Amino acid sequence: MSKKKIDKARQKRLAKQNAARARKASGAGNPSMPMLRPVNGDASDDIPFPMPDPRAMEAQLRGMFGVQENTPAAQAQELMSEAFDKMSGPERVALAHQALEVSPDCADAWVLLAEEEATTAEEAIELLRKGVSAGERLIGPEAFEENAGEFWGVLETRPYMRARANLAQYLWATGEEGGTREAVGHYRELVRLDSRDHQGHREILLVLLVEIGEDEEAAQLIESHPGVGTACWLYSNALLAFRRGGDCDGAREALADALDQNPHVPGFLLGETTMPDEPPMNMGYGDENEAVHYVAGAMAGWDETQEALSWLEAQAALPTVDA
């Protein structure tokens, strides 16, 4: 592929990425509900029935673990559990407003309003900031210190974690550098608070660090989690190696590992394979859906690295030599 063709394909991909970000920022979709769920093997996108809101299950968990209190905050959370069980948007929104009347510290209510009532990115971000503040007030500073690293295991912290995750996603979706950098700060803190990364933010953090040029921190993140074999981890490692040393042995070896794990990524990055208009609902490690998931977030990092796409194309075209 000539440089001219690569540039043309890059423009098309960036336009599609910006359109996807705009859809997120406009409130389309549901940022709290995972758009991609890792599964074993290839995954089918055909889900013939609406998926239940996973947040509804937490009411059962609170009952099982005895987390039942007769406080305004607990009453508001019960209303949100009822809201999450509803399939009707207006009913969910009405219950969220009712919950906030009972307790303005109900972070889940602010999140739901950002998802389903906000009409602009600005409105959603404002509501989510209120949700983060509400969660901070409810949890209290002592719990932030005592439970750091294990936050997701404490049920009361989950609404706050969701609010902050949604805020980070909306900030990134704006496509503005300031929004992306603020999002990175939120993702850093989410990963610090939940070291086991139950919400799956570590890979998003890695992609964004690469995008904004925080290569040293990105490399440290990779080094601190050896053995991770996802497309995101391996291709990010290869791109960082290329930035450090160009077409060196280390970069080639890193890219070879990435190509072996998921050979579908170059086609999407180079524009030879068309990205879907909507993200797949599921993915399997090494399949096309995983490639879509990675490329949708990582395009900017590759596009902004001089000669990286030409290098990727050349290396991906080389024949594999069996040992």
Question: What confidence tens digit (pLDDT) does each residue in 202-235 have?
Answer: 999 999 999 999 999 999 999 999 999 999 999 9
Tokens read off for 193: 């608070």
Residue 316 has pLDDT above 60, yes or no: yes
Q: Name the pLDDT band for 27 (thresholds 50, 70, 90).
A: very low
Bridge partner list, 194: 149, 150
Residue with tokens 């086991």: 196
Given a cut of 80, whether residue 10 has pLDDT beyond it is no
Band of the pLDDT at 29, cuts 50, 70, 90? very low
- Paired with 150 in beta bridges are 194
Report pTM.
Answer: 0.85
CA distance linking residue 74 with residue 57, whole number of Å = 15
Nearest 5°: CA angle at 320, between 290 and 269? 35
Report d(CA 205, CA 221) in Å as an integer.
9
